[in-house]
Chains A and B, each alone.
Chain A
Amino acid sequence: MDPEDYEYVAEEHDRLISAISKLDKTQHITEPTRNEPTNLNSEFNLIKPSKKLKLDNVLKVLEDNSHNVKISKKLKFSQNKSKVLPKPLEKPQAERIKRAAGYEETKKKIGRWDPVIARNRTVDFVSFPLKTRPVKKDTPTNIFLSKLKLKSPLELELEEVDPTPVVEPEVEEEELYPMSYEEMVEHRQHLAKFRAQQSYRAAKAKRQSKIKSKKYHRILKKEKLKQQLKEFEELQATNPEEALKKLEELEKARALERHTLRHKNTGKWAKNKLVRAKYDKEVRQQLAEQLSVSRGLTQKTQNIESSDDEPDESENICDIQISQDPMNPWMLKKSDKSNIDAEFNFGYKKYLKDKMYKRKEQSDSEEDEVDQNKDDDMSSLKTLTESLKKLNENESTAVIESKTQEDDTLMDSISEEKKSLTVQNKKNTQKEKSNNTRRKNKRKIVSTSEWVVEEINPKNATTEEELNSAFDDYEDKVALKVAKKLKGLKHELKNLETVSNKPNKKKNESSKEVDNLEYLKLKKQKQMPIIDEPLIESNKNVDEIPEPTKPLLETLKDTVPSTTENVNTDIDPNRFIEVKPKYLNTAVTNSENNYDDLDDEEQVVPKVDIEEVFEEDDVVTSFRQEKEDEINKNNPEELSLTLPGWGGWAGKGIKAPKRKKNRFITKKPPKTLRRDENKGDVIINESKNPKLAIHKVSDLPHPFNSVKEYEESIRTPLGNTFVPETAHRKLIKPNVITRSGTIIEPMDEEELLVPRNRNFNNKSVIKILGKQ
């Protein structure tokens, strides 16, 4: 091919390309190229060239030499493989990273020294220079020494008699690792899992125990019970003996539960009774009994005497209030009159009132009621509201009968009733009778239980209509109840009559009723003594325990002296520690040679002598007085800061209430035990010695947090007069020992390889030293 041809082909080729490029409609802006160096840049050439170097362009330069092809291929390959380097970071960032990396590096480097440092800080002493040539210790000293000199004949002889025992080299047993590494890891994981589960369970249990919902607990209990029953059934099939045991257990649990009387009003029996109680009085009494029994069981024992903290109601009332000016409005008490009336309702007055009451009942004149003043109305209203409230409260029980009285004697009658009841209380023999009469009289009964069992006067029921319209809603209800009640009462009366006809049954009945009465009586009185008695740690025998049939008051009377007797049993222990004197058979002095013959066998019977006669007893008493004074001197007394009249009335005969007084009394500090507390005739001076206190440590030094530990750490003296010399030397050895005349060179990295340093692995110490 000649060059022309060549040129031609090229031209052809160019044309072809331009033709093809013309096919493409998009306009291409050719990149400016510079052919020759100029200072001027055409403004049209200011297109930003892409900075990317196109390899193709570069390769264009290379012709298709075989050699070049190779290179181009290589280049292309590399172009495909390699990625473009990212832009280098900003300088501060880069430096920061550099620093961080450097820190890590140096930390690691320096961290290697931690165990070395930690060990050097914790060892008893460090001796410099650190590098010491290890002394060879293959031969024990005695053997080494024995080589140095000849043995004397005596030594040889001794050797013969007592040869030195050959010290057996201890065979160090290799520690056995029962588990391989994997096993160990597995074991640990297992343990960790177990622990975690345990903690979950504990947390769950804790959460569940905090649930207060009754419903939840009920369900839980039932579930448990079911589970147990299931188990029981299963057992029945497999192991009948075990099942029997299980059954017994179940029964026992149930019995215990029943016994506690927790279900006093929730059980089937109680519910049935509740339904019937509306109509049947006996049932009501049974329920009341049940309740009072449960109360008796659950009651906490209390002191009969009221504590100081309780506000004493009676103290608020002035003693001489009555004697003072009655017109003084301040001195008049707000207390309701009925209360006072009740207090003074006895004797002939009571009798009179009773009579009046009866007469009024008989003459049911409505005009009288209308004439009654407003006060009376109000009082009766009060009682009504109260009773209604009660009714509301005890709707479930629904036995309460509200009743109104037009007269203010209603309250009187109640209190009277109480009185009469207490009187009856004392009359043990005539209980039956009084019971009957009472019923006929149709009086109120105030029981100890919430259950108020009462009878009504049917005539009085009609008086309700006179009352406020606010209670109209209740009216019908009450009336209905009254009617029902009446029915019940009539029925009861009939019953009673039949009972009285049967004398043999009567006794049982009566006794039962007496018991009931016991519960029904004395509303506020707690039946302490009976329940309390077994708790009193009386050393007296059974005689002391009052019989349950005894009435309350008697038992109370009985128990009070018994407690005082218990107090008396505190005895003076000093009486018992006396050492009995031992009579010694001593020599006789010349001056009193009364016993000429010294018979050693005989115990000498002492003659009463003048010294013993004149033993001063007041020496003892005066010494004890001295001790008492000493004790009292250091005991601060209670300080009363009460100002009479501050926040209350003061004056002659007015006592400030106890609670108020107590508020202003600064309590003395609790009594500290003296050293000579129980030592008899010994006085120990407990005052602090200020001269000694100077010498004592009054602040714990740094690492200690407990006095005991500090005292333990200084318990051993260091001086050689107190501890053996070897121990003394050990104790006073300095921390740093330097050998004189040697150069102490800094540690080099070889120190890292010393086994004692490498083996030091007290992590906590290393950590704390690494922090600094």
Chain B
Amino acid sequence: MENQPSRNKTKRYFDTAPEKDEKTQNKNENVKVYTVKSTAKLLKIQKYKEQNLNRRKKAFINNNKIKKNFPNKAPIDPKKLELHSRGEGFTGQGVLHPLHLLKLKKREKKFKYAQEQAARADILLTEGQGYLEVDEDNRTTSINQKVIADNVDITAATKIFELNLDFGPYNAKYSRNGRHLLLGGKKGHLAAFDWVTKKLHFEINVMESIHDMSWLHVETMVAAAQKEWLYIYDNTGTEIHCVKKLDKILKMEFLPYHFLLATVNEYGFMSWLDISIGEIVGHYNNNMGRTSVMTQNPYNATVCLGNPKGVVSMWSPSSKKPLAKILCHKTPLTAVAVDNRGMYMATSGVDRSLKIWDIRNLDGPLQHYKLRSAPVHLEFSQKEMLAVALGNNVEVYSDCCITTTEKPYLRHRMAKEISNFKFCPFEDVLGIGTTGGFTSIIVPGSGEPNFDALESNPFQNKKQRKEAEVKALLEKIPAELITLNPFEVMEVDVPSMQDRMEARNSLLYLKPRNIDFTPKHKKKGKTNIARKKIIKDAARKKFINQSIEAKKILKQPEEDKNSKPKQSFGVLDRFVSKPKVKK
């Protein structure tokens, strides 16, 4: 047991005392030693407090001896500062007017201040990420939900639950603040409830097959793709809209900042419905065939479609051709998932392989895993854990994108087939929709521990919700801005400007403007291309060396042959060309 006995914690009712652990040890004989850090935030806070106390004591001791170096404000870690950097900054090279130059420099100081403040505000993110901790000779996979439930506080333990429902394979989706859960059964069962308090909002049977459903911008509105059309219900289960423009929908995704409901239907038609004005902003056929593998990239709000040819294509409402296409697998795709930051994409194919791609640079694969069976569903958590559905098993990989992982972080086996699952935002919970209902399990460390209440607040009340709705509507992003690079709007349209300048400069009696067209640097440091180049060079060198060696080997027998006398022609031998005698 290493529960840090040296620390004298204040004992809480949910804390796991060593004696208690011993009991559990006796109970589960196959699992000998383990320690489970509960994810309760309070526990973390306490730990933090303790550390602070220690530090203060130390500081107190030191205070008497050493005078303070920084009497005013603590310096900021340059690494942290770099995290909040938005660019190199304004240098004043391109501005000639001294007054404007001065003003812009003052403005630049304010930007720097903003960056500093953001870096300083990082200390307000007090909550730490939880995790499972085991002895060296044990695995985290050996800890099952029961063990976790036994070791966490009772409020956390209530997050492990199971619902047995009868209406076919279920899909589950959490609302954006992670408070509400929407369940949709294939056989028409639609239910929404506050899964923390288990308070039911509504439960209806639409008497049609439900293919997919989604929360809209608030938890009072729900969209469900039924047999024919798309329906929208409110939080009492009343049908408020039937959108007949969207028929036979297979999959849908809600883009919260654009207020768009992106859908794909059986015939390969993609459509984006702006739910704030009720208009369809994009509607066209993708010519990729029927597919039900769809996800959104939260970084740039593009929609990723996987198709039977193994190609993942990215779509925006404004262009009828895909923004990008990647050939991921040689076999049909089974699942696609993109992580929250838009950095990584996980794809899986029928060939039982799982690949991780660098989707921001459209590069990869970074990792290539082979599994024992083809994954049915993939999902990234907020903290970049990847959940993989393998038949009736769920496996969660904690660090599989950058490094090649060896084994899963957590494994959960169920009696039913999995149809889909979602990580609950701001909670360490994975909700699994199965053929026989819904299961909620705890995955320690999967959720984001610090939430921004202005962004999405799990403890939102009615008034706050209304206010947030208005604000969100005010800050709605137009659908045209959906591109691969979300910061493209901030860039100057250089080609058209060049044309314009050329036209202007060709005019007589007009002073031509000298403009430096080089755009802002996008990134510093080694790019992926540079890395690739290094690899390429190394490979080339190796190849060349090999070829030289091979040539040497090939040459030797030739020389041997040369030395031998060849076929004799008698008198005519003199006409046979002789090998050159080297001097």
Contacts and interface: CB of A to CB of B under 8 A. Distances in A.
Contacts of A550: 580
Nearest to B545: A539
Contact of B480 (A540, A583, A694, A723): A694
Interface in A508-555: 539-541, 543, 547, 549-550, 554
A82 B478 CA distance: 90
Interface stretch (A292-300, A499-507, A585-593, A649-657): A585-593
A90 B319 CA distance: 81
B490 A711 contact: yes
A692 B111 contact: no
Interface in B121-154: 121, 139
Given A713-B108, A762-B98, A706 B93 contact: yes
Contacts of A706: 93-94, 515-516, 518
B327 to A, nearest CB: 4
Interface residue range, chain B: 35 or more
Contacts of B368: 579-582
A698 B500 contact: yes
Contacts of A689: 318-319, 480, 483
A692 B89 contact: no
A165 B68 contact: yes
Contacts of A715: 86-87, 111, 490, 520
Contact of A705 (B484, B489, B513): B513
Given A168-B67, A676-B362, A712-B90, A724 B117 contact: yes
Contacts of A581: 353, 368-370
B205 interface: no
Interface string A569-601: 101010111011111111111111001000010
A612 interface: yes
Interface in A707-730: 707-716, 719, 721, 723-724, 726-728, 730
Interface stretch (B156-164, B196-204, B388-396, B443-451): B388-396
B392 A589 contact: yes
A8 to B, nearest CB: 96
Nearest to A576: B539
B87 A124 contact: no
Given A707-B515, A715-B520, A730-B110, A697 B493 contact: yes
Contacts of B395: 586-587
B220 interface: no
Contacts of B168: none
Interface stretch (B4-12, B75-83, B422-430, B528-536): B528-536
Contacts of A710: 94, 492
Given A581-B370, A685-B321, A727-B113, A703 B362 contact: no
A474 interface: no
A25 interface: no
A673 to B, nearest CB: 11
B372 A685 contact: no
A765 B325 contact: no
Give the one of B114, B350, B407, B544 with max A CB within 10 A: B114
A687 B495 CA distance: 13
B60 A161 contact: yes
Interface in A604-661: 604, 606, 609, 611-612, 614-617, 619-620, 622-623, 626
Nearest to B482: A692
Interface string B87-128: 111111111111111111011101101110110010000000
B19 interface: no
Contact of B369 (A161, A576, A582, A709): A582
A726 B363 contact: no
Contacts of B341: none
Contact of A623 (B68, B113, B311, B411): B311
B279 to A, nearest CB: 15
Contacts of A716: 86, 111, 114-115
Interface of A: 118, 121-122, 124, 161-163, 165, 167-168, 539-541, 543, 547, 549-550, 554, 569, 571, 573, 575-577, 579-592, 595, 600, 604, 606, 609, 611-612, 614-617, 619-620, 622-623, 626, 675-676, 678-679, 681-685, 687-689, 691-700, 702-716, 719, 721, 723-724, 726-728, 730-731, 762, 764-765, 767-769
Q: Main secondary structure on chain A at its contact with chain B?
A: loop
Nearest to B499: A698
B99 A121 contact: yes
B351 A612 contact: yes
Given A707-B497, A715-B86, 20 more contacts: A118-B99, A549-B583, A582-B370, A584-B408, A611-B351, A611-B352, A676-B362, A679-B362, A682-B324, A684-B323, A692-B483, A694-B480, A695-B481, A703-B95, A706-B515, A708-B516, A708-B518, A709-B91, A711-B87, A715-B87
A568 to B, nearest CB: 8
Contacts of A675: 362
A384 B393 CA distance: 101
A184 to B, nearest CB: 27
B555 interface: yes
Nearest to B94: A706
A8 B523 CA distance: 125
Interface string B47-72: 00000000011011001000110010
B582 interface: yes
Contacts of B497: 698-700, 707
Given A576-B536, A711-B519, A714-B490, A619 B330 contact: yes
Interface in B440-487: 454-455, 475, 478, 480-481, 483-484
Contacts of B117: 723-724, 726-727
A576 B490 CA distance: 37
B13 interface: no
A724 B555 CA distance: 72
B373 A708 contact: no
Contact of B103 (A122, A592, A609): A122
Interface of B: 56-57, 59-60, 63, 67-68, 71, 86-104, 106-108, 110-111, 113-115, 117-118, 121, 139, 309-311, 318-319, 321-327, 330-331, 349-354, 362-363, 365-374, 388, 390-393, 395, 404-405, 407-408, 411, 413, 454-455, 475, 478, 480-481, 483-484, 488-497, 500, 513-521, 529, 532, 535-536, 539-540, 543-544, 547-548, 551-552, 555, 580, 582-583
A595 B90 contact: no
Contacts of A614: 331
Nearest to B100: A703
A591 B515 CA distance: 67
B369 to A, nearest CB: 5
A707 B391 contact: no
A765 B99 contact: yes
Contacts of B496: 693, 698
A122 B517 contact: no
Contacts of A571: 539-540, 543
B94 A615 contact: no
A709 B372 contact: no
Contacts of A714: 490
B55 to A, nearest CB: 11
A705 B352 contact: no
Contacts of B115: 716
B492 A721 contact: no
A122 B102 contact: yes
Give the one of B310, B322, B455, B520 with max A CB within 10 A: B520
A707 B492 contact: yes
B168 to A, nearest CB: 19
A679 B535 CA distance: 13
A707 B327 contact: no
Contacts of B494: 707
A749 B28 CA distance: 90
Contacts of B331: 611, 614-616
A697 B492 contact: yes
A700 B500 CA distance: 11
Contacts of A691: 318, 480
B369 A768 contact: no
